[in-house]
Amino acid sequence: MKIRITSDSTCDLSAELIAKYNIGILPLYIEKEGEFYRDGLEIVPQDIYDYVGGGHGVCHTAAANVEDYTKFFSENLKEYDAVIHFNISAEMSSCHQNARVAATDFENVYVIDSRNLSTGSGLLVLEAAERAADGVAPAEIAKEMEELTGKAEASFVIDTLFYLQKGGRCSALVALGANLLKLKPCIEVKNGAMGVGKKYRGKVDLCFEQYARERLEGRDDLRKHRVFVTHSGCKPETVARVKEIVAGYGFEEVLETRAGCTISNHCGPNTLGVLFLRK
């Protein structure tokens, strides 16, 4: 049986990983000045940064609609016997609801609420792709992935609260206080929603290093198969240092990816996260 693993574009997998695992990607939309652009196809994060930096306000994200999903599933089923599709958490977007509505038109489409975002979802996508390659039945893969969603741990340290503030997800007062104190908040995904964890203080590169160690130090619940270091355009030497730190905890595969437009639009540039699965 030929199974296609697919995801919306918020999984933030690199082009190399998408090709290696034959992942189908359905882009979300970025709205800029009343026009809608497909994430990763018609707009990239730097376009957003340039627009915001030019004093034009902020962009907004929009979910893929039911028609998008219906067409996407139909196209994939021309070549594959089944589709297993992953969405950004239903707590964060209407994508999952729209995908489920579209899936009712098909008997062999399985829609998974990742309860996560970025490569927190991407970890699940790759797990599913590996099982599909091993010949596991689609219904069994879907069941396993639904059980695994609670094991994906995603968090990011944000350099600036400007984008969250302008997007209405953070008050001006909170942003001002954080900026004055040079705080770098850690955004964590818990129970499918984003919340604020520890607040780091000081130079952001050192905050990233401290954060990476604290996420992994002294833990016996880590699955060592793979880990992602996902960022929104951090300095190469900074990313290399974090990857070096992460590799020291015994992961078999340390993968680096760039966050796509959806994540970058909310978190802004110079954001970095360490994302992995627990046992």
Domain spans in the chain, listed from the N-terminal domain onward = 3-28+63-149, 154-278
Report how far residue 72's alpha carbon sits from residue 55's, in angstroms, rounded to the nearest whole number: 36
User: With 90 as the cut, is the pLDDT of residue 56 above it?
Assistant: no
Instruction: Work out the pLDDT band at 166, boundaries 50, 70, 90.
Output: low
Q: Provide the CATH topology of domain 154-278.
A: Hypothetical Protein Tm841; Chain: A;domain 3 (3.30.1180)
pLDDT grade for 182, boundaries at 50, 70 and 90: low
Q: Quick one: how far is CA 211 from the chain centroid?
A: 18
> If pLDDT is split at 50, 70 and 90, which confidence band does 49 have?
very high
Predicted local distance difference test score (pLDDT) of residue 194: 81
What's the confidence (pLDDT) of residue 221? 97
d(CA 41, CA 126): 22
- Report, as an integer, the average pLDDT of 229-254: 97
- What local confidence, expressed as pLDDT, does residue 201 receive? 87
Mean pLDDT for the chain? 91
Examine the pLDDT at 170 and tell me if it is beyond 70.
no
For residue 250, give every residue at least 6 positions away whose Cβ sits within 8 Å of its Cβ, in sequence order, or none: 224
For residues 105 and 162, which has the higher predicted lDDT (pLDDT)? 105
Torsion of CA 121, 127, 131, 133, to 10 degrees: 90
Q: How confident is the model at residue 160 (pLDDT cuts 50, 70, 90)?
A: confident
Q: Residue-wise over 137-176: b if at least 16 C-beta within 10 A, else e?
A: ebeebbeebeebbeebbbbbbbbbbbbbbbbeebeeeebe
- What are the tens digits of pLDDT across the range 197-221? 888 988 999 999 999 999 999 999 9
**CA dist., res. 197 & res. 103, Å (int):** 36
Give the pLDDT band of residue 176 (cuts 50, 70, 90).
very low
Residue 190: which H helix or E strand, with range?
strand 183-190
Q: What is the C-alpha to C-alpha distance for residues 86 and 215, in angstroms, rounded to an integer? A: 25
237-252: buried (b, 16+ CB within 10 Å) or exposed (e) per residue? Answer: ebbebbbebbeebebe
Q: What is the mean pLDDT of residues 93-104?
A: 97
Task: Give the pTM.
Answer: 0.92
Cα torsion 35, 39, 45, 51 to 10°: value is 0
Question: What's the start-to-end Cα distance of the chain, in Å?
Answer: 29
Which DSSP category does 149 fall into? G
The H-or-E segment that residue 227 falls in is strand 222-231
Q: Please give the Cα distance from 219 to 187 (Å, whole number).
A: 20
Confirm if 91 and 113 have CB atoms less than 8 A apart: no
Domain 3-28+63-149 fold: Rossmann fold (3.40.50)
Q: Is 226 helix (H, G, I), strand (E, B) or coil?
A: strand
pLDDT at 4 over 80: yes
